[in-house]
Amino acid sequence: MERSIADFVAHLEDRRYAAHTVRAYREELDRFLSFARSRVRRAPDPARDLTPELIRAYASARSLERTAARRPISARTLARSLAALRSYLRFLERKGLATTALRAAFPRVTVPQPLPSAHAEAALNALLDQISAAVPDADVRGLRALAAAELLYGSGLRIGELASLPRERLDERRMLVRVLGKGSRERVVPLGARAVAVLRRFWRAFGREPVAGEAILLGPRGTGVTARTLERDVNGLLARLGPSAAVHPHALRHSFATHLLDRGADLRAVQELLGHQNLRTTQVYTHVTRRRLKEAYARAHPRC
């Protein structure tokens, strides 16, 4: 089984899965391998030792595990763990091993769906305008943080997509950007005029414009900055919205989708802009807009 897991991980790398995704799958499958080895008392063989009973036993044991803080693992953690195992079984089936009965043995895990943490439109736009007016033209890091925020909010990018975005994928004339998203799926999204203007200010402060092959957001050494660095920059910027505001960069992506839907954008168009493979992923934003509509109805209608 160890060899087949290594082949599966290599398959994920060949399909250009993100490094942290590959690492997470490997960790989950190593955990399952250790469990299977303890049950069969030897190196497990996928063809002989993978049984529905083993799958059910692993799911039960995993659900009883606790975190370092001695709390039960969350339903989301359990679902993610079983999803990695399910993907591995699908890989084995493509290699000729029948796994239908094995995949049917997985328990159903209900994962709570929290609403996306979107910022209020007026407050977010006021903050970006205020920072744009206040940041000095010589403040390289401040302009980089502002450019990152404008791009995340203006185009709905993920922080990892922005950190790895090369200069040649930015088309200023047509105001478009080509993004390589999850699963190596490419999409083309519009670019806001304010994002381009701040990006230009950052390049002037930095001293040069990036060339083809370089990231659009450069660091002090002239190389691209990491997603973690951009995350810290954006966190500091969004913290000005108040102590209860969501400061993670993904909140800007949530705001992008929510504000588009609030203004009547088509759900399929928003799905395309976000790069979601499944429409159900995009539909979570309709819960946010529906809640706001209900609140407005409750405040305004005389018969409520």
The residues carrying an active-site annotation are 158, 182, 250, 253, 276, 285
Q: What is the dihedral of CA 238, 244, 249, 254, to 10 degrees?
A: -120
Nearest alpha carbon to residue 156 among 281, 55, 12: 281
| C-alpha distances in Å from residue 44, one per residue of 63, 217, 248 | 22, 48, 42
Which strands form 176-180's sheet, in the order they lie side by side? 170-171, 176-180, 186-190
Q: For strands 170-171 and 186-190, give the pairing.
A: unpaired
250: Cβ contacts below 8 Å, ≥ 6 apart: 117, 158, 159
Give the end-to-end CA distance of the chain in Å, rounded to a whole number: 62
153 in Cβ contact with 161 (< 8 Å): no
182 in Cβ contact with 275 (< 8 Å): yes
What gap in Å lies between CA 237 and CA 110, rounded to an integer? Answer: 35
What gap in Å lies between CA 130 and CA 120, rounded to an integer? Answer: 15
Could you tell me how far CA 1 lies from the centroid of its own chain?
30
Amino acid present at 262: D
Amino acid present at 132: S
Helices 250-262, 227-238: inter-axial angle, 10-degree rounding: 60
